[in-house]
Homo-oligomer: A and B are copies of this chain.
Amino acid sequence: MESFLVYSGGSFVRTSREHVVSGPFDGKPFARTWLAGVEEFEQSVVAAVAAFAGLKKMHAFERSSILREISEKITAREEVFAGIIAREAAKPWRYALAEVRRAAQTFFVASEEARRLPGEILSLDWTPEAAGREGLVKYFPIGPVAGISPFNFPLNLAVHKIAPAIAAGCPIVLKPASSTPLSTLELAKIIDETALPKGAVSILPMDRKTGNRLVTDERFRLLSFTGSPEVGWKMKEDAGKKKVVLELGGNAGTIVGASADLDHAVKRCLVGGFAYQGQVCIHAQRIFVHRSLFGTFAEKLVEGVRKLNYGDPLSPETDITVMIDEGNAKRVEAWIAEASEAGATVLCGSGRNGNYVEPTIITGAGPGMKVFDEEVFGPVVTLNAFDDFREAIKMVNNSLFGLQAGVFTNKVDELDMAFNELEVGGVIHNDTPIFRTDHMPYGGVKDSGLGREGVKYAMLDMLEPRILVKTIKNQ
């Protein structure tokens, strides 16, 4: 059984608490790591504070070349990383490999952004009182950053915190999900080989209580959390003076308008609805289809779901596999049952077996049912018909959440309405909400979060503007 040491303050360490990781697919322990305790936490924070002095003095080309080195080394070991992810997260190989490639790309983008910090010169002499003044605005790293990342993209969602932090010149202490800590610890080996000051990055698997120090410790200037809404919003309360970025979830909506290319829409909804068993923040949970297409759409989607290939995540043939754990599978099962009892129809999906939930499509769901109102984070989509496009917009907006939304349409006025009226962080045209590319601004409104990630956007929260009001001598 392979061991993955904790990466604390620039050293790989064992701690007193061994933590065995089992694969959700076969339930077998396959690797060992350790949980950091208060001691390692303290060591990491002290090292981060110390590393900041060096980090903030690094030249742009230094930060940039370190990030590029990491990117290239991830690529060189992409199959190793994909294997770890497939195993620890039960992510089908194809999606695991895609995640690794995205992580390499995220570091690559950061290697560019590290050289491209914003900076502007402002004329200040807009009034006689400010005659002779000129403003120079530069951006400076804020200091140590605390990062907490989830199980569903165990590598790339951690990288979306680590890479911008290095690019901005901020040290970071990151807590991966306890169920999936291995891919980031594998990454730590690569990071450790670079010229980064020791302590610039720490990767600490922790229990929740110890991990909560990331939220409350005032030596951090920013908390960046990706995870569930309840946990995230509570952290905001406890975060003290630090800035808080929250990337939470939602029950994202997709609208299929009357002018949509039906086959294309079905194909994309299969991916958006069932990739990684729906355990994706921007999972296409609620699909609204124009009544003229509804019947055919439902039929074809069911047909598509039936062709999904169940199996071992390590197999390249696998489309769908188990959920992260039985607790979640049971929750999803219960939500489906609740909807069914309340009058909704299950078009396909015959239920749960252990931590496997069969891909499920539900019609007739609506407000009041958890599968419609809350984040299902499982292989379930709801289908509803609509008559008027504006009505579909309202149904998508009728949610506590607002991360992304998908809109299939070829009408200019519908697309304008969708972009201008949907209360979300991103509207995806002719695709489902699941689309993301790693340099785009990404994040939610309403209960779905606070702030934006996407390398450059994540960096902006890790930087503080400072203006020099220059006085120009009258010459």
List the interface of chain A (C-beta within 8 A of B).
59-61, 64, 98, 105, 109, 112, 115-117, 119-133, 135-138, 140, 142, 233, 236-238, 240-241, 243, 390, 409-413, 415-417, 419-422, 424-431, 435, 437, 439-442, 445, 447, 450, 452, 464-473, 475
Contact = CB atoms under 8 A, between A and B. Distances in A.
Contact of A471 (B131, B430, B473): B430
Contacts of A422: 466
Question: Copies of this chain, how many?
Answer: 4
Contacts of A469: 426-429, 431, 435, 440
B131 A61 contact: yes
B136 A466 contact: no
Given A112-B112, A237-B240, A428-B471, 6 more contacts: A121-B137, A124-B440, A126-B437, A135-B440, A429-B470, A440-B469
A125 B61 contact: yes
A440 B130 CA distance: 11
Contact of A437 (B64, B112, B124): B124
Nearest to A427: B468
A138 B416 contact: no
Contacts of A412: 409-412, 415, 429
B117 A123 contact: yes
Given A413-B410, A415-B412, A419-B136, A467 B131 contact: no
B419 A441 contact: no
A392 to B, nearest CB: 13
Nearest to A410: B412
A471 B138 contact: no
Contacts of A126: 60-61, 64, 105, 109, 115, 437, 439
Nearest to A232: B241
Contact of A466 (B117, B125, B241, B424): B424
Contacts of A123: 60, 115-117, 119
Contacts of A98: 129
Given A413-B410, A419-B136, A467 B426 contact: yes
Contacts of A121: 119-121, 136-138
A411 B410 contact: yes
A435 to B, nearest CB: 6
Contacts of A64: 126
B427 A467 contact: yes
Nearest to A409: B412
B419 A138 contact: yes
A396 to B, nearest CB: 13
Contacts of A233: 240-241
18 contacts: A60-B123, A60-B125, A61-B130, A112-B112, A121-B138, A135-B441, A136-B136, A136-B419, A233-B241, A236-B241, A237-B240, A409-B412, A417-B473, A417-B475, A419-B466, A425-B464, A425-B467, A426-B467
Contact of A473 (B142, B240, B413): B413
A265 to B, nearest CB: 12
Contacts of A129: 98, 437
A437 B130 contact: yes
Contacts of A447: 241
Nearest to A430: B471
Contacts of A465: 425, 441, 452
Nearest to A389: B475
Contacts of A137: 121, 441
Nearest to A59: B125
A132 B59 CA distance: 8
